[in-house]
Amino acid sequence: MEENNGKLRNKIISIVAIVFFFVAWFIAGELELYDTQFVPGLGTVFAEAWHLIQNGVLLECISISVFRIVVGLSFSIVVGIPLGYLLGGFSPKFAAFIKPLLKNLSLVNCFTLIPVFILLFGIGEGSKMGIIFWVLVFPVMFATIQGVEQIDPAIINAARSMGAGKIKIFFDIALPAAATPVFAGVKSAASLGFLVLLSAETVGAKSGLGWLVFNSHANYNVPRLFVGILAVALFGFVFTAVIELAQKRIIVWKEES
Amino acid sequence: MGNVVTLNGETAQVRDEIVVKDLNLFYKTRRKKGKDAEPHEALRDVNLAVKEGEFLSVVGPSGCGKSTLLYILAGLNKKTSGEVIIGDKQVNGPSQDRGIIMQAYALFPWRSIIKNVEFGLEVKGTPRKQRREIAQSFIDLVGLSGYENKYPYELSGGMKQRIAIARALAYDPDVLLMDEPFAAVDEQTRSFLHEELLNIWEKTHKTIVFVTHSIDEAVFLSDRVAVMTPGPGTIKEIVDINLPRPRHADLKTTEEFGHFRTKVWQLLQSKTDRAVAIEAGNNREIVNEPQDMVI
Ligand SMILES: Nc1ncnc2c1ncn2[C@@H]1O[C@H](COP(=O)(O)OP(=O)(O)OP(=O)(O)O)[C@@H](O)[C@H]1O
Ligand SMILES: [Mg+2]
């Protein structure tokens, strides 16, 4: 109960701080309390945002970025988690053998791979999502391997002693028993993916939030630059909130047997 | 086969539920740097027979191989040589004719209490509705009605162990294997759980093999107590506990109880030279070899 109260209080304090920050920014901008050439007032930024909403640019940028990261992350989950379970669960010896190779592969700088991805997937969306996939699949897979390796052997033994076969143990024991570390892996992969997405969009893209920021900067459109930055921040916030919500929905228990 | 005198004075034949013959087990080990691997002998020529419906405890110094023996009975550990027969069948792996209860509860944290108890029935293929009913009846049996939809983390240690017992009973195994199940609960709860376990045993007629460190616990619960030697473990002697049943906690204060307790204690004290040598120093480093099939 007290813990909950503390959490609520912290939440209120941070909301108040954010509101205060924006109000201060707005007032300072309106009253021209500082040089608004480099940091425009919030009023100006909102006016620009309204403009970009009306001509559809902002929505298009956001939706294309969402699309890219959702597809890239989904692919890395769909590939990384089963692969991690297979490597960690069914053949730990093989996993120990192949892990250094995978670690090295994961360290290959994704931007040096852009030409390869363009060759493989063409110049369009494929290569961008390919990069995101490439960067994210490894952390997801490693987290899964680790999660499976960490499963309490007593729990596996309990299931085996009740006659459970390999398939039942895989789906009913290994899958949920490793869920917490797997989710942690997905979460850190998601925030990493977010960074990669933004930088990938500044390199070769003509759309997306990363492009909006980069292009505004190149054209000295400072209010638009700030709309981009705020949109990125908001996007990141919503993105993590969605993943955390999913985690809360799926993991309703506490790790303690 | 053994002979048992029933209440009306007749002699009835009781069959052996568990037979262990010349059982040996070596663990793979790795010595400290630079030295060769040398198997570690955990059990040597273990011979044991447990009668149907019997309550047998196994006591012995730490590391003598009690858990190892129990895990072999459960089919979770592979023996090196010898024979293990349960019911009429050779033990080749785990099966639903046995249930194991460990000190560390090993409940599934992501399953509600009732779903934990249902696990063995799911494996068995029992239809959902029946599963619920059976699981509920065993939750009632261990006195935890009302906790069906809680999760393990919401239960105390003693409650968790009762659920672990319910989970092992639910799919109706003939043999219950218990590895220091009450070592982690407080004295009062333990005493309460002892009587409860005896009640359940009398109701369900299971054959129980109960591993423990506690001489009192072994004597209080058992028909017979098997005393093991320090590692490599062998059965040193089996003590018949001729105490009347049903037993209640006040039995522990009686002279007869003290007699059996002293007997078991003395058997545990007399050490072999080998045991003294082992206690003096053992530089073996024991590792868990990664197995090819973890799940
Ligand atoms: N997986 C393993 N690999 C190698 N050696 C093992 C393994 N498990 C146990 N041992 C060794 O085998 C011997 C018997 O162990 P076991 O766990 O059966 O003893 P125990 O009688 O149950 O001890 P305790 O009373 O402390 O629980 C010990 O010397 C132990 O170190
Ligand atoms: Mg043990």
Residue A105 confidence class, pLDDT cut points 50, 70, 90: confident
Residues 6+ positions from B172 with CB-CB distance below 8 Å = B96
Residue A108: its pLDDT value, please? 75
Tens digits of residue pLDDT in A124-158 = 777 788 888 888 999 999 999 889 888 999 999 99
Note the helical H segments in B66-214: 66-74, 113-124, 128-141, 157-170, 187-204
> What's the ipTM?
0.82
- DSSP assignment of B5-52 equals E-TTS-EEEE-EEEEEEEEEEEE--B-STTSPP--EEEEEEEEEEEET
**Exposed/middle/buried for A56, CB within 10 Å: 0-12, 13-18, 19+?**
exposed
Which of A163, A174, A176 is the closest to B95 by Cβ? A163
Residue B272: its pLDDT value, please? 52
Tens digits of residue pLDDT in B146-156 = 999 999 999 99
Residue B284: its pLDDT value, please? 42
- Does residue B231 line the site of ligand 1, with CB under 6 A? yes
A206 and B CB contact within 8 Å:
no
Residue B159 is assigned to a structural domain of this protein: no
Tens digits of residue pLDDT in A166-220 = 889 988 999 899 988 898 899 888 888 888 888 888 876 788 888 898 888 888 8
Domain carrying residue B73: 2-97+209-283
Residue B107: its pLDDT value, please? 95
Residues 6+ positions from B273 with CB-CB distance below 8 Å = none
- Does residue B61 line the site of ligand 1, with CB under 6 A? no
Residue B163 is assigned to a structural domain of this protein: no
Residue B63 is assigned to a structural domain of this protein: yes
| ∠ Cα B42 B45 B47 (to 5°) | 115
Residue B189 is assigned to a structural domain of this protein: no
Instruction: Tell me the chain B residues in contact with residue A93 when contact means C-beta distances shorter than 8 Å.
Output: 290, 292
Residues A45 and B221: their CA atoms lie apart, in Å, by: 78
Residue A246: its pLDDT value, please? 87
Tell which A residues from 51 to 110 touch B, by Cβ distance under 8 Å.
89-93, 96
Residue B229 is assigned to a structural domain of this protein: yes
Tens digits of residue pLDDT in B94-114 = 999 999 999 889 999 999 999
Q: pTM for the full model?
A: 0.79
Note the helical H segments in A31-174: 42-54, 57-85, 92-107, 114-121, 125-149, 153-161, 166-168
- Nearest ligand 1 atom to alpha carbon B71: 18
Judging by DSSP bridges, how do beta strands B235-240 and B224-228 pair with one another?
Answer: antiparallel
Judging by DSSP bridges, how do beta strands B40-51 and B81-86 pair with one another?
Answer: unpaired
Residue B286: its pLDDT value, please? 39
| Beta carbons of B295 and A157 less than 8 Å apart | no
CATH of A45-250, one of 1.10.3720.10, 3.40.920.10, 1.20.1090.10, 3.50.50.60: 1.10.3720.10
Which of B106, B109, B290 is the closest to A157 by Cβ? B106
All residue ranges of chain B with pLDDT < 70 are 1-12, 30-36, 271-295
The count of structural domains within chain B is: 1
Tens digits of residue pLDDT in A6-46 = 888 888 888 899 899 988 888 888 888 888 788 888 888 88
Q: How far is the CA of B92 from the centre of ligand 1 (A)?
A: 21
CATH assignment of the domain containing B266: 3.40.50.300
Instruction: Tell me the chain A residues in contact with residue B109 when contact means C-beta distances shorter than 8 Å.
Output: 253-257
Residue B182 is assigned to a structural domain of this protein: no
